[in-house]
Amino acid sequence: MIIPSIDIINNKIVRLYQGDYGLVKYYHDDIYNILSKYIFYGSKVIHIVDLDSARSSEKKRSKIFYKIINTFKNFIQIAGGICTEKEIEYFLSIGAKRIVIGSAVINNIKKVKNWIQYYGNDYIVAALDIRITEKNIKNVCIHGWETKTNIQLEDVLYDLSSVNIKHVLCTDISRDGTLMGPNLDLYQDLVAQFPSIHFQSSGGICQLSDIEKLKKIGVRDIIIGKSLLEKKFTILEAVQCWQKGSFLASM
């Protein structure tokens, strides 16, 4: 499905360029109006990122995220610095559809695996953000993409597969916020290696043909942020493009 995305810093919609907090662009759109529009035109899930908390989980989370989840119950996939069972339970109790776990997957994978088993694999999304070397080594980055690890993406995915992880959000950081197009080779490799995982692609979407290509590869969900904010196409056009691909695939 198409999952529109909104990143938030200091209660404002933003986009980073290649995950760089020094290269931030602010948008003055009303958050609640945008979310309402996305839902009106067919979005079933909306990805909301708290970039302040993603950078530092110790930072106190703004109340706007609780208000968003409570206002748009069963639509919000919430991300950014979530690393405690208490916060997971609270977000789910007020109506979050899914909880995205990022840095904690690397910092405490045993705990995250327990969460997947306890809450169910439809409620926990593992977010694995990567920087790819010249030798095609996919190193996971954490703490709002600012800390590079030597842990390879495939190793984490094999470990998570032991508890039947269902949803994995994978971002090629070099494509995020660039409108350069998605890393098709990356997602093609991942779908082939881990066919039971529902991958959410993220980063680089710039035109409707990108949706068609990712759909053909077998990506289950496509996260789209900047191209919607920059009006490269509308959410309705994106949803219709995805549905058209589904229809053609069934023929």
* Helix residue spans in 23-145 (DSSP H): 31-40, 51-55, 64-71, 85-93, 103-107, 109-119
Q: Is 129 a catalytic residue?
A: yes
Please state, in angstroms and rounded to a whole number, the distance separating the CA atoms of residues 163 and 181: 32
Catalytic position from the list 7, 52, 210, 221: 7
| CA dist., res. 169 & res. 126, Å (int) | 6
84 Cβ contact list (under 8 Å, min separation 6): none
Give the count of alpha carbons within 13 A of 81, CB side only.
Answer: 20
**Cβ–Cβ under 8 Å, residues 56 and 41:** no
**Phi, psi dihedrals of residue 19, rounded to the nearest 5°:** 75, 15
Of 126, 214, 139, 205, residue with least CA distance to 169 = 126
For residues 221 and 237, give the distance between their C-alpha atoms in angstroms, rounded to a whole number: 16
Select which of 50, 52, 129, 176 is catalytic.
129
User: Among all chains, which residue has been given the structure tokens 């198409």?
Assistant: 2
Active site residues: 7, 129
